[in-house]
Homo-oligomer: A and B are copies of this chain.
Amino acid sequence: MKFRRSERLIDMTHYLLERPRQLIPLTFFSERYQAAKSSISEDLSILKETLEHRGIGTLMTVPGAAGGVKYFPSIKKEDAEQHVKELCERIADPERLLPGGYLYMTDILGDPQMMRKVGKLLGSAFHDKEIDVVMTVATKGIPIAYATANYLNVPVVIVRRDSKVTEGSTVSINYVSGSSKRIQTMVLSKRSLREHSNVLIVDDFMKAGGTVNGMKSLLEEFNASVAGIGVLVESEKVEEERLVDDYVSLVRLTDVDVKEKRISVTEGNYFSKPISFL
């Protein structure tokens, strides 16, 4: 019996962690473990307490015949601060400096452990919003989009710069890039996004916000709404007006001094947002 509870707890943990925000009927678990519903309820209250205590997330029980349990990943404020600090330190590394004052970010974006943390941070900033899909633009936004989508358990939609035959019919828009003032194109496959979807837009880097703004215009073509905007890094140095105001950023790039080889960053606006931490 003791073993049975251990087994149930381990398997339930795995099962729920893989399915955030999804309603699992209690009958599913009681059949899976051939256990009484009362034992399952007891398991779930142990699980809830531990997940909260350890800063992993929480469980919500939905009562009634159509009820069950949902796992909501979450994060403690101190862990979030730690993750943002780690990001700041990694981004401030002068080795990232490229000619022209650009930053090399590919190593951070290619690190699944770091991306998981970014997904946790951005996901928890929007976890009380109705979100049907996470959208980004190819290529660098993609890992951030998948990490956030994993956290929220919703699909990913990728906007491209060019149209490809494997996308089927597409909707394309032209937009003006905020910093370079050039006209650019964005393309989204028609069938990749349902009308009236609630869309979380994410990207790796935001300067004036032209790209994010382009995605917003594209969403209008689909009668879809922006549920939120999240970026890994925002640049403080914007010569023109910022085109996007309501967004969440994890890191703020305050200065790049190519001559002195110095990258100055601070935390973004993340902690000034009304995020409910564990």
Contacts and interface: CB of A to CB of B under 8 A. Distances in A.
A257 interface: no
A191 interface: yes
A80 to B, nearest CB: 16
Given A13-B13, A192-B110, A6 B5 contact: yes
Interface in A106-130: 106-107, 110-113, 115-116
Interface string A159-175: 01000011110000000
Contacts of A105: 166
A203 to B, nearest CB: 13
Interface stretch (A46-54, A245-253, A263-271): A46-54
Interface stretch (A62-70, A149-157, A216-224, A236-244): A149-157
Interface in A16-46: 17-19, 46
Contacts of A115: 146
B158 A139 contact: yes
A225 interface: no
Interface in A53-107: 53-54, 56, 98, 100, 102-107
A155 B112 contact: yes
Contacts of A14: 13, 17, 51, 54, 56
A167 B100 contact: no
B112 A156 contact: yes
A149 B14 CA distance: 19
Given A7-B50, A50-B10, A139 B110 contact: no
A110 B189 CA distance: 12
A168 B104 CA distance: 7
A160 to B, nearest CB: 7
B98 A165 contact: yes
A189 B140 CA distance: 13
A138 interface: yes
A157 B110 contact: yes
A178 to B, nearest CB: 16
7 contacts: A6-B50, A9-B10, A10-B50, A104-B167, A107-B155, A110-B157, A142-B143
Given A102-B166, A139-B158, 12 more contacts: A5-B6, A6-B6, A9-B9, A10-B50, A11-B50, A14-B56, A104-B191, A107-B192, A112-B146, A113-B153, A139-B142, A146-B146
Interface of A: 2-3, 5-7, 9-11, 13-14, 17-19, 46-47, 49-51, 53-54, 56, 98, 100, 102-107, 110-113, 115-116, 138-140, 142-143, 146, 149-150, 153-158, 160, 165-168, 189, 191-192
